[in-house]
Structure 1
Amino acid sequence: MTNVRTYNSPLREKKTRETREAILVALFELMDSAGGAPDEIGTEAIARKAGVQRRTLFRHFATKDELLAAFWPWLNARIGVSASPETLREIVEGPRLAFRRFDAHESAIRAALHSRTGREMRMGTVARRRACFARALGTAIASLPADGTAKVEALAHLLLSASAWEVLKDYGGLTGAQAGETASWALEVILSAVASGQSPAGTTSQPKETGDGD
């Protein structure tokens, strides 16, 4: 009996992974084709698309929220976008690489921005993402005072985000590729200013005092 269990275990694990993947792909395809928010797509439709019974879906994901919590990290991995950059280069080049990919999955990305579970997922990653940005920016902004580093980190966090992609497209009239070039260029300008010793954005300078007619 032990030998049978040992032999079958990898097969069961493989089947479990394949079924889980099929469910996630089904949700993605439903969202991408219909343009619907994932919060509004029923589990029956997802199971039918995945080719499994609804009870099978719930064996892999106990609730709809659990499915959606697993979906967002899976989507980032599928698109090939890292939400937690590890190097300065990943931050600067990130928009160029990511934004054109966002265009190819526009419905899913917009759903991630505006659905309840998408927002909850992003808020759940904020602390880790901030820590990654702080480490990656590291020496590049080490010369700045604390308030300056906070400003640059916040701007980098914004510019390498789906929110920046959406705003640059909707309000700037840019394509994803153009939006990516714009955001990466802005990051380059900010970091170049820091490297040259200029004050970070938002720092006010006081006008020099002059004499009363001297």
Structure 2
Amino acid sequence: MLRDEYAAQTRQRIIEAFIALLEESEDSSIATSALAKRAGVSLRTVYRYFPSRDALLAATADWLNTEVFGLASQDDPEGVVKGFQVAVGKFDNRPDLARILALTRIGRSMRSTFRNELASRRRSLLWNDTPDIPAPDRLRAEAVLACLDNVQSWLTLREEFDMDAKEIGTTIGWAMELVLNETRRSAPAKKKKP
């Protein structure tokens, strides 16, 4: 049990060292020797826990998605908007890391799994109360929501409009609600039973 705890701590130290190096340099070509030095472990230890670059990226992405940025609770359609508003606060807390996720190839690869999971969750919630919305309308709405509910939207509003997390959350939340309301309005009216 103590051995397992030590292994988990070592693994975590390597991931955190990798993230720190990314934040400092924004260079995805971080040498494994530099990573080992930063984590305070041997090169062999890094390879024992992460035998490939892909394994390190996958583990880092998992950790970022659960521990740093994570999916906010989305139990209903309103939770989709609230989820983004929670996320922008997290992006503001780690702006360098959020910027890396938004703009770099390594960031895009690390958030692809997260984005797919978010899209799947969103899809399962949005149309429960309005199942009659035509599929093309649902697809359009989901596509626009994916563009809005995104670290890149946070970055654009932060850098181009100098907004803080609260202003970004309010602005994107407003746009998301417009899309949802307009899409729901397009649902065919249900016929009343005589």
Question: Which range, TM-score by smaller chain?
Answer: 0.7 to 0.9
SS in 1 for 2:161: coil
1:27 to 2, 6, 18: 18
Give the corresponding residue for 2:90: 101
- Mapped to 2, the partners of 1:141 and 1:49 lie a distance apart of 52
Q: In structure 2, do the counterparts of structure 1 residues 126 and 81 end up closer, same or farther at CA, with 3 Å as the change threshold?
A: closer
**Contact in 1 for aligned 2:148/2:176 (Cα 8 Å):** yes
Is it true that 1:191 corresponds to 2:180 in the alignment? yes
Is it true that 1:63 corresponds to 2:57 in the alignment? no
Give RMSD over aligned pairs. 2.3
TM-score by length of 2: 0.84
SS in 2 for 1:123: helix
Is it true that 1:76 corresponds to 2:62 in the alignment? no
- Mapped to 2, the partners of 1:116 and 1:63 lie a distance apart of 17
> Runs of 4 or more off by more than 3 Å in structure 1?
83-87, 121-129
Q: Show structure 1 runs of 5+ residues with no match.
A: 1-9, 200-214
Give the corresponding residue for 2:191: none
- Mapped to 2, the partners of 1:172 and 1:141 lie a distance apart of 35
Give the corresponding residue for 1:202: none
Report the CA distance between 1:65 and its aligned residue: 2.8
> Where in structure 2 are the equivalents of 1:1-214 lying within 5 Å?
10-32=1-23, 34=24, 36-82=25-71, 85=74, 87-195=76-184, 197=185
| Identical-pair percentage | 28
Q: In structure 2, do the counterparts of structure 1 residues 171 and 189 end up closer, same or farther at CA, with 3 Å as the change threshold?
A: same
Could you tell me which amino acid in structure 2 is paired with residue 25 of structure 1? E
Give the corresponding residue for 2:190: none
TM-score by length of 1: 0.77
Report the CA distance between 1:121 and its aligned residue: 3.2
Q: In structure 2, do the counterparts of structure 1 residues 46 and 182 end up closer, same or farther at CA, with 3 Å as the change threshold?
A: same
